[in-house]
Amino acid sequence: MTMVRAGVVPTQRALLYGALGIGVTTLVCAAIVTGFGPNRVFTGLLAGVVAGIAILVALFGRDVVVLTDGGIYRRTPWRESSIDWGRVVAGRFALDERARWSLALDLSGGDERHGELVLLSIPPVIRPVSGAYDMRKREQVQEIREMLRRQRVPVTVLPEIAGGLHRHWQIAPPTRGVEP
């Protein structure tokens, strides 16, 4: 079974995760300093940072959208819901409110906010792949496009986005602005 990870963590949830990470760091540090004395501040900070990072990795790692051949699964650290491919009306690669390139699915029915599910949000592509982040996002765009193509979801792509992806990342533009 093919599985593609995607999804964008909303700002409010990212702030909550950050606060939880800082809180765990503070609690672990305070517990070690309280239990072993003030000479263990560095040890407490080190253990707290490790615990805080572990919490952040766990929270952000669980907050994801997983596309499979059988359906779409929206996961958060607290719950999981599934969306049938039959609910997907279309996809669109357009500019979001922060002038980033956003790949979203339009959904019919259900209780998703505004009937859309954002799969990817990246800064505009203005140069060739130049690092690990660019490489991962390029792979993610290709994986998502291939999954949507297999599921026969039509995807509308703005011309400047299609041009940028083709010119800088060598991702072929869709025919007639819509991918079959």
pLDDT in tens, 158-173: 889 988 899 899 887 6
Does 2 fall in a domain? no
d(CA 95, CA 92): 10
| Span 129-151, pLDDT tens digits | 889 998 999 999 999 999 999 99
Tokens for 125, please give them. 């592509």
Radius of gyration of the chain (CA): 20
Tokens for 129, please give them. 């792949």
How many independent structural domains does the chain possess? Answer: 2
Tokens for 40, please give them. 């263990």
Same domain, 98 and 142: yes
Residue at 7: amino acid letter:
G
Same domain, 49 and 90: no
Predicted pLDDT at 170: 87
Does 154 fall in a domain? yes
d(CA 56, CA 15): 11
Same domain, 173 and 89: yes
* pTM for the predicted model, two decimal places: 0.78
| Span 21-72, pLDDT tens digits | 999 999 999 999 999 999 999 999 999 999 999 999 999 999 999 999 999 9
Does 4 fall in a domain? no
Tokens for 133, please give them. 């982040």
Other Cβ atoms less than 10 A from the Cβ of 80: the count is 12
d(CA 52, CA 36): 20
**Chain centroid to CA 24: how far?**
24
Does 44 fall in a domain? yes
Same domain, 19 and 105: no
Residue 101: burial class (beta carbons within 10 Å; 0-12, 13-18, 19+):
buried
Q: What is the average pLDDT across 86-114?
A: 83
Q: Is residue 115 predicted with pLDDT exceeding 90?
A: no
Q: What is the average pLDDT across 121-132?
A: 90
